[in-house]
Amino acid sequence: MKFFADTAEIAEIRELAATGLLDGVTTNPSLIHKSGRDFVEVVREIASVVSGPVSAEVVALDYEGMMREAEILRKIGDNIAIKVPLTPDGLKTCKALTSDGSMVNVTLCFSANQALLAAKAGATFISPFVGRHDDVGFNGMELIADIRLIYDNYDFGTEILVASVRHPIHVLETAKIGADIMTAPPKIIWQLFKHPLTDWASRASWPTGKRRVRGSEPPRPAEIGN
Ligand code: E4P
């Protein structure tokens, strides 16, 4: 499973890239807006740090406008994936861009039927939003399982990019279902490393100065974190 970082913060991207575990980046206009920097400049910098796909989203709502913005964005580099919304104009744009050799990430997917449409439009990536799905009382991971089943039924090459990931259990479920990619804020990717018993066992010594003995009894819950 590939790991993408859902951020526009270049320092966070560099830090994750140094682990060797980062396969790509997704951005969106609000993440870039938060950085207070120029949109194209930020996308260019990210695309120079990460060799994998970097999603850059169009903001126009009509086909002509999306194509105009995509023309600017795809010139940034071969690793740019144009991100378009799951609307009739978005899928028309998707078809035109992928037929022309560009990568396209179809975003704002909230149903398996929408994912089917995106695959038929030749999407490189489909981004179902699990967290936002959970927020309104549905089970986001059931959506991922349905999309996996449909794509396997018809051998669609579109990669399932699980988005709106809010916690490590979303990552675990994504891997169990067999989705291709998950994109998460860096904080969540760092949380995946954590386990109290790993922290304990990797300490050089107890706070008392006594040497830790590998294989000795693990700490009681009250001792974890001391
Ligand atoms: C993905 O491409 C989106 O940028 C992102 O996952 C949205 O997540 P949110 O629901 O936390 O805004």
Q: ∠ CA 92-65-102 to the nearest 5 degrees?
A: 55
Computed from CA positions of residues 206, 210, 213, 219, in that sequence, does the dihedral angle turn out positive or negative?
negative
Euclidean distance between CA atoms 60 and 66, whole angstroms: 5
194 catalytic? Reply is: no
Mutation choice for ligand 1 from 28, 143, 181, CB with most ligand atoms inside 8 A: 28
Q: Rounded to the nearest whole angstrom, what is the distance from the C-alpha of residue 226 to the centroid of ligand 1?
A: 35
- The protein residue with its alpha carbon nearest to ligand 1, atom 6, reads 164
Q: 45-51 contacts: CB < 8 A, separation 24 or more?
A: 45/10, 46/8, 46/10, 46/13, 47/76, 47/77, 47/79, 47/80, 48/77, 49/10, 49/13, 49/14, 49/17, 50/13, 50/17, 50/22, 50/24, 50/25, 50/79, 51/79
Give residue 33's identity as a one-letter amino acid code: H
How many other C-beta atoms lie within 10 A of the C-beta of residue 182?
Answer: 25
CA separation, residue 178 to residues 36, 108, 123, 171, 207 (Å): 36, 20, 18, 11, 42
Euclidean distance between CA atoms 20 and 22, whole angstroms: 6
Euclidean distance between CA atoms 183 and 171, whole angstroms: 9
Euclidean distance between CA atoms 40 and 56, whole angstroms: 9
Number of H helices, E strands in the chain: 11, 8
- The protein residue with its alpha carbon nearest to ligand 1, atom 1, reads 163
- Tens of pLDDT along the chain (226 residues) come to 999 999 999 999 999 999 999 999 999 898 899 888 999 999 999 999 999 999 999 999 999 999 999 999 999 999 999 999 999 999 999 999 999 999 999 999 999 999 999 999 999 999 999 999 999 999 999 999 999 999 999 999 999 999 999 999 999 999 999 999 999 999 999 999 999 888 877 765 555 656 555 555 665 555 555 4
Euclidean distance between CA atoms 175 and 1, whole angstroms: 7
- The protein residue with its alpha carbon nearest to ligand 1, atom 9, reads 164
Q: Rounded to the nearest whole angstrom, what is the distance from the C-alpha of residue 6 to the centroid of ligand 1?
A: 7
